[in-house]
Amino acid sequence: MKIRFVTKKLIIAASLGAAAMLLISGVAFYFLYKSNVEKQEELRQNYKDKLAELEYTTEQSELVYTLNTDVDKGQLIHKSMVQPSLVPKNAVPADAMTDVQFGASKYYAKANYKMSQPVAESLFYIGENLTKDIRSVEYAAIELPSRIQKDEYVDVRIQFPTGEDFIVFSKKKVVDTQGLTLWLENDEGEIQSMSSAMVDAYLNAGKLYALRYVDGETQEKAEITYPVNKAVLERIKVDPNIVDIAKLNLEKQNREALELNLQALDKAKAEELRSKESQQKSLKEQEDKERLLNSVNEDANAELDPSGVINEEYGE
């Protein structure tokens, strides 16, 4: 009997222990299950949030080519240097290139560009590297907008008394500016077009002026509308000096316009502007003297050369 009683107590104790363990296991399993459910729900919500964010980004972005490395001016662009990327629509240039055919054409950088720069037609010379033909040219015959700054973009236009107005240069980047002088990088064709425009403005009482782009990085370039005057080109061939005459007259016209504007300013500001202009004028006069000296030396050498040809000069 005693053994049965002990056995019975052991069985009861074991049963109670098993029940307690089962209860503890059940509670632990419940909390573990609840924790897993919460984690899964959190992961599911994170996934939904990321998916919604991706969809929004996709809607607000555009797939274009971007540079995956820094590029130097004049450098030939290879296929390995660009990659398709999603770029915010407000940062995509109007002439962004979405289909770059590197096998069909060659692309040369017009300037230095940083990695991630969207690839746009206006950033490259296509087919031929024109940087060999580019020259830094200074102009003092162009009326400039107030507060114009380096690296801004401008159109250079010609206006006649008849009201006709044409675009000579389109979306040119300002290399530098000081006083009435503007520096641009032009190729040979642009240099010739400007020479024609200056003579055209001089002969027909016109004027050359610049208009600034509000957002030069994204705005499309305007179409060049100035028709180079054949009669003017013939006049230049007959009398090359007329280009310099026209240039000097237009510079004088700009100088007079500036003086009128200075009269409306306070004395200190006017003197400051005059001082800057005087410094620029001195530098320009020095350069003109050097060019004149070089010209005299060349003429002297030509006279000593039996095969030299004396060119007849025409006055205005």
Q: Is residue 93 part of a domain?
A: yes
For residue range 109-140, list pLDDT tens digits in order. 877 888 988 888 778 877 666 556 678 888 88
The mean pLDDT value for 96-119 works out to 78
Whether residue 231 sits in one domain with residue 295:
yes
Whether residue 238 sits in one domain with residue 210:
yes
The mean pLDDT value for 238-245 works out to 70
Which of 87-91, 169-173, 220-224, 269-273 shows the lowest mean pLDDT across its residues?
269-273
Whether residue 116 sits in one domain with residue 147:
no
Whether residue 264 sits in one domain with residue 252:
yes
Which of 59, 74, 108 is the last residue before a domain boundary? Answer: 59
What is the pLDDT of the chain when averaged over all its residues?
A: 75
Which of 59, 87, 107 is the last residue before a domain boundary? Answer: 59
Confidence of residue 292 (pLDDT cuts 50, 70, 90): low
Predicted local confidence at residue 299, as pLDDT: 52
Give the chain's end-to-end CA distance (angstroms, integer): 146
For residue range 48-73, list pLDDT tens digits in order. 778 777 766 667 788 888 999 998 87
Whether residue 119 sits in one domain with residue 150:
no
The mean pLDDT value for 140-164 works out to 90
Whether residue 299 sits in one domain with residue 240:
yes
Instruction: For residue 107, report the phi and psi dihedrals to the nearest 5 degrees.
Output: -120, 125
Whether residue 124 sits in one domain with residue 193:
no
Whether residue 87 sits in one domain with residue 13:
no
Q: If we measure between CA atoms, which residue out of 141, 140, 143, 165 comes closest to residue 154?
A: 143
Check residues 241 and 304 and name the one with the higher pLDDT.
241
**Residues in Cβ contact with 154 at an 8 Å cutoff, skipping those fewer than 6 apart:** 145, 148, 169, 171, 172, 174, 210, 211, 212, 213
Q: Is the pLDDT of residue 157 over 90?
A: yes
Q: Is residue 16 part of a domain?
A: yes
Bridge-based pairing of strands 135-139 and 165-173 is unpaired
Predicted local confidence at residue 315, as pLDDT: 36
Whether residue 221 sits in one domain with residue 112:
no
For residue range 179-230, list pLDDT tens digits in order. 888 999 888 778 888 888 888 888 888 899 999 999 887 888 888 888 777 7
The mean pLDDT value for 83-110 works out to 78
Q: Which domain holds residue 81?
A: 61-131
Whether residue 269 sits in one domain with residue 139:
yes
Q: If we measure between CA atoms, which residue out of 169, 173, 219 comes closest to residue 190?
A: 169
CATH of the domain at 121: 3.90.1210.10
How far apart CA 164 and CA 94 sit, in angstroms, is 28
Whether residue 15 sits in one domain with residue 104:
no
Whether residue 192 sits in one domain with residue 91:
no
Q: Is residue 21 part of a domain?
A: yes
